[in-house]
Amino acid sequence: MRPIALIILLLLFSVQSFCWGFFAHRHINYHAVFLLPPEMIILYKPNIDFLTEHSVDPDKRRYVLEAEGPRHYIDIDHYGKYPFSELPRKWEEAVTKFGEDTLQNYGIVPWWVQIMLSRLTNAFKEKDQAKILKLSAEIGHYISDAHVPLHACSNHDGQFTGQKGIHGFWESRIPELLADKEWDFFIGKAEYIKNPEEFIWARILESAAAADTVLKAEKELTDRFPADQKFSFENRNGVIVRQYASAFSKAYDEKLNGMIERRMRQSVFAVASFWYTAWINAGQPNLKTLSNKTFSETDLKEFEALNHAWQNQPIKGKAHETPHP
């Protein structure tokens, strides 16, 4: 069989797996812009295309950097049972108790969000426009990932329960099918987060608590849905792929009682609120008078390298799920 034919055949009979899907990440960052106050809108709105497109850079970086993967998830059930009180919330205490290697192996997203917040705050203090935009785009990705139930569960793609593919089903297939047509992203305004550590850990615990429901609902629906109607063949980026059927997808969304829309809306609010919090903590600098308004040659080369790696190389490290546009 010719290589190109083999590739098409593999695509034809595969169910794609995603991570909040490129579609969803882009939508989250896009809608977050409109929750900002006027003093921030003057920077974020004219650069909304950059913030939208580069929201997926962290996923692309997984094809370049092995250390990137754990920044997107935490297999928190490794540390006992809900509310996982044996796992210290502070990084230094967690390292002392479990060791950094263990933490990295099971994911570090709640701590990485806090690191990114510190970096974004410093960028605002430095009044460095390019750095502000780059970090804003990327922190949005990690915050959104923390809102995904299967990013807080070791059974992250149903691999232990015969449900492989559920990860992309929940966080990519359904948003792509319903977000533009049926979901509402008029949310209100960003709010100052007094305790970012407490905030992001609360989102992680919500995700962890919802993981069982995500898995159970799919299993129950599969058991009563006609087997020949669960999947369909659809055109995706010019290639025919085997995909969860629209009827099954909508039935699953209804069975979850709007969970996916709620978590996506919560992601939009959280992203905007972290941007706002970084700006407040930096002293509310005037965003009309920033320096470094163009991206450096180094930045441009990095963007190009990320695109090339994502399109041509395998993921580095543990494949928690496979990013896809």
pTM for the predicted model, two decimal places? 0.91
Query: Does residue 291 sit in helix, strand or coil?
Result: strand
Please say whether the beta carbons of 100 and 92 come within 8 A.
no
Please say whether the beta carbons of 164 and 218 come within 8 A.
no
Tell me what pLDDT residue 240 has: 84
Tell me what pLDDT residue 9 has: 32
DSSP character string of 34-97? TTS-HHHHHHHTTTHHHHHHGGGHHHHHTTT-GGGGGGG---GGGG-STT-TTS-SSHHHHHHH
Q: Which long-range contacts (CB under 8 A, 24 or more apart) does 244-251 make?
A: 244/15, 244/165, 244/169, 244/173, 246/177, 248/221, 249/169, 249/173, 249/174, 249/177, 250/177, 250/178, 251/221, 251/225
**For 128, which DSSP code?**
B
Q: What is the pLDDT of residues 63-81, one digit of tens each?
A: 999 999 999 999 999 999 9
The type of residue at 221 is: L
**Nearest one of 158, 258, 165 to 215, comparing CA atoms:** 158
Q: What is the pLDDT of residues 177-205, one digit of tens each?
A: 999 999 999 899 999 999 999 999 999 99
Tell me what pLDDT residue 321 has: 55
Tell me what pLDDT residue 325 has: 53
CA distance 225 to 101: 43
Tell me what pLDDT residue 5 has: 36
The residues facing 291 across adjacent strands are 128
User: What is the torsion angle, in degrees rounded to the nearest 10, for the CA atoms of residue 57, residue 58, residue 61 and residue 65?
Assistant: 160
Q: List alpha helices for 57-146, DSSP H.
A: 57-61, 91-98, 100-106, 109-126, 129-146
What the block records as the tokens of 175 is: 């948003």
Mean pLDDT by 10 residues, the chain (325 residues): 35 40 94 98 98 97 95 98 97 98 98 98 98 98 98 96 95 94 94 98 98 98 92 81 92 97 98 98 97 94 95 80 51
Query: Which top CATH class is 3-312?
Result: mainly alpha
Domains of the chain, by residue range, sit at: 3-312
Q: List alpha helices for 127-195, DSSP H.
A: 129-146, 166-168, 174-182
**Nearest one of 37, 111, 25 to 74, comparing CA atoms:** 111
